[in-house]
């Protein structure tokens, strides 16, 4: 179901810069060195990831199986899902309007306080009132032209938490062309998920799951940093945008991406979380939303077992926490796949734990970013 939208005002943010091998916040308990990890009893889990649900056009290779170690220390079978990082079923953009006279047809979306708004000219003209800050002005008073990051260099300087001061009061957008058409990543998830003893948080994870069309579902965007710099990190109407480290990724589910209806009136399947549990649309087939969701935005039924319903497009999250165990290889199993001989791009000041070479040595800085990216 499309997100609730208004003709004026909204807010989302950048995608987190992805790390090549970021340690998952949930990967806390692993088997001790020198001892064989116990085998996870898959028979206790009724849920199974359906690899055939993914659109092959959104994958860079067929889905394969491999042994993996979970955050509990158990060994199980995981599915290795290699995402192209570009949507297989819809166009990317538009993002920022070019003038304050542009309508919603020429721009994307932004969100604030749970509501999604069209990022049109009227929205930009009302930013100062919306945020109660007269500094906001992303356009020229005389010409009505909007200041947009329309080069790779401008994207690199602005699509990050520590925005270059030269790009304050800009609408920030980046092109997939800047990253060769997409940044691939690998999702390693349990084939048959199992619950944790205590749910794990999603803040700081570079991805919480994957859409069925080959696009990552990112964790919450750093909204405070975006607004602090008087920037708008525009999303397109499908709830995604581009940065140089992650490529195209979603921060909101607006109904654009591949979905599979189950025929029983239940909300459509739209992806899988990194713990292997299914991610369904927020609303059921009749337009109602479940009233019995837990803090992770999940519940159980006899047909599907445990599964998630994603949050509304204006909430800056998909799920509230991870109900299940995750693979400890990387951030719940997510690893960028550099294209050709080029390393995954780094941006000085990014907040991810490692970048490009799989060695996590602390937050990226201007001093260590290049070396860490080989």
- 138-197 confidence digits (pLDDT tens): 999 999 999 999 999 999 999 887 889 999 999 999 999 999 999 999 889 999 999 999
- Token pair in block for residue 45: 């889990």
Q: How far apart are CA 333 and CA 24, in angstroms?
A: 8
Return the percentage of the chain with pLDDT > 70, whole number: 75
Mean pLDDT of the residues in the chain: 80
Query: Taking the model in full, what pTM does it have?
Result: 0.80
pLDDT at 30: 28
pLDDT category, 31, cuts 50, 70, 90?
very low
pLDDT of residue 47: 84
Give the pLDDT confidence score for residue 132 in this predicted structure: 95
- Strand segments, DSSP code E, in the chain are 5-6, 64-69, 75-83, 109-112, 115-118, 170-172, 184-190, 195-200, 209-211, 216-217, 231-233, 240-243, 247-250, 269-273, 278-280, 298-301, 305-309, 322-324, 335-337
Grade residue 38 by pLDDT with cuts at 50, 70 and 90.
Answer: very low
Q: Which helix (H) or strand (E) is 285 found in, with range?
A: none
200 Cβ contact partners less than 8 Å away, ≥ 6 residues apart: 24, 25, 26, 28, 71, 321, 322, 326
**240: phi then psi, degrees, rounded to nearest 5:** -120, 165
Cα 226 from chain centroid? 16
- So where are the chain's domains? 5-13+91-179+222-250
Contact in structure between 328 and 69 (CB atoms under 8 Å):
yes
Residues 6+ apart with CB under 8 A from 327: 68, 69, 70, 71, 78, 188, 189, 190, 274, 333
Percent of the chain whose predicted confidence (pLDDT) is above 90: 60
Q: What is the pLDDT of residue 46?
A: 64
328 pLDDT band (50/70/90 cuts)? confident
Please answer whether residues 60 and 82 qualify as being in contact, where contact means their C-beta atoms are separated by less than 8 angstroms. Answer: yes
What distances in angstroms separate CA 118 from CA 9, 105, 138, 363, one per listed residue?
Answer: 7, 9, 16, 34
How far is the C-alpha of 366 from the C-alpha of 370, rounded, in Å? 8
What number is the average pLDDT over the span 315-340?
A: 69
Strand pairing class (335-337; 184-190) = antiparallel
What is the reported pLDDT for 332?
47
43 has a pLDDT exceeding 80 = no
Residues 225-254, mean pLDDT to the nearest whole number: 93
Question: Would you say 203 and 25 are in contact if contact means Cβ atoms under 8 Å apart?
Answer: yes
Backbone angles phi, psi at 227, to 5 degrees: -70, -35
* DSSP assigned state of 101: T
Give the mean model confidence (pLDDT) for residues 222-236.
90
Radius of gyration of the chain (CA): 20
Which residue has better confidence, 297 or 348? Answer: 297
pLDDT in the model for residue 236: 97
Question: 283 by DSSP, 3-state: which?
Answer: coil
Q: What is the mean pLDDT of residues 224-252?
A: 93
Task: Look at 25-29, 91-95, 324-328 and tell me which has the smallest mean pLDDT.
Answer: 25-29
Q: Is the pLDDT of residue 300 over 90?
A: yes
Whether residue 312 is predicted with pLDDT greater than 90 in this model: the reply is yes
- Read off the pLDDT band of 239 (50, 70, 90): very high
Bridge partners of 187?
81
Instruction: Tell me whether residue 233 is exposed, middle or buried, using C-beta atoms within 10 angstroms of its C-beta: 0 to 12, 13 to 18, 19 or more.
Output: buried
Cα separation, 5 vs 348, whole angstroms: 35
Residue range 106-150, pLDDT digits in tens: 999 999 989 899 999 999 999 999 999 999 999 999 999 999 999
- Distance between CA atoms of residues 255 and 268, nearest Å: 10
Q: Is 53 helix (H, G, I), strand (E, B) or coil?
A: helix
How many angstroms separate the CA atoms of 100 and 94, rounded? Answer: 15
Q: What is the pLDDT of residue 329?
A: 57
């Amino acid at each position: 179901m499309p997100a609730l939208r208004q003709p004026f005002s909204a807010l989302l943010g950048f995608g987190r810069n992805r790390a090549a091998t970021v340690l998952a916040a949930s990967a806390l308990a692993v088997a001790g060195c020198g001892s064989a990890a116990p085998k996870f009893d898959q028979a206790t889990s009724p849920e199974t990831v359906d690899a055939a649900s993914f659109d092959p056009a959104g994958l860079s290779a067929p889905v394969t199986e491999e042994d993996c170690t979970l955050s509990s220390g158990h060994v199980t079978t995981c599915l290795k899902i290699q995402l192209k990082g570009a949507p297989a079923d819809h166009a990317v953009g538009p993002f920022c309007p070019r003038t304050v006279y542009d309508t919603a047809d020429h721009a994307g979306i932004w969100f604030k306080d749970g509501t999604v708004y069209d990022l049109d000219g009227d929205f930009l003209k009302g930013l100062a009132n919306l945020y109660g800050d007269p500094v906001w002005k992303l356009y020229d008073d005389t010409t009505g032209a909007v200041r947009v990051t329309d080069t790779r260099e401008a994207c690199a300087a602005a699509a990050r938490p520590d925005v270059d001061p030269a790009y304050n009061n800009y609408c920030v957008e980046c092109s997939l062309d800047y990253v060769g058409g997409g940044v691939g990543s690998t999702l390693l998830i349990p084939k048959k998920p199992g619950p944790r003893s205590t749910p794990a948080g999603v803040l700081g994870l570079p991805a919480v799951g994957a859409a069925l069309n080959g696009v990552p579902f990112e964790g919450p965007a750093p909204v405070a940093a975006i607004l602090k710099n008087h920037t708008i990190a525009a999303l397109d109407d499908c709830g995604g945008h581009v940065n140089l480290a992650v490529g195209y990724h979603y921060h909101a589910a607006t109904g654009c991406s591949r979905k599979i209806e189950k025929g029983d009136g239940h909300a459509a399947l739209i992806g899988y979380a990194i713990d292997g549990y299914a991610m369904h649309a927020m609303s059921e087939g009749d337009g109602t939303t479940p009233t019995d969701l837990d803090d992770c935005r999940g519940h159980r039924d006899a047909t599907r077992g445990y599964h998630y319903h994603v949050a509304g497009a204006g909430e800056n999250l998909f799920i509230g926490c991870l109900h299940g165990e995750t693979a400890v290889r990387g951030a719940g199993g997510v690893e960028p796949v550099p294209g050709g001989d080029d390393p995954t791009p780094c941006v000085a000041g990014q907040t991810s734990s490692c970048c490009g070479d799989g060695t996590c040595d602390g937050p990226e800085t201007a001093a260590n970013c290049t070396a860490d990216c080989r």
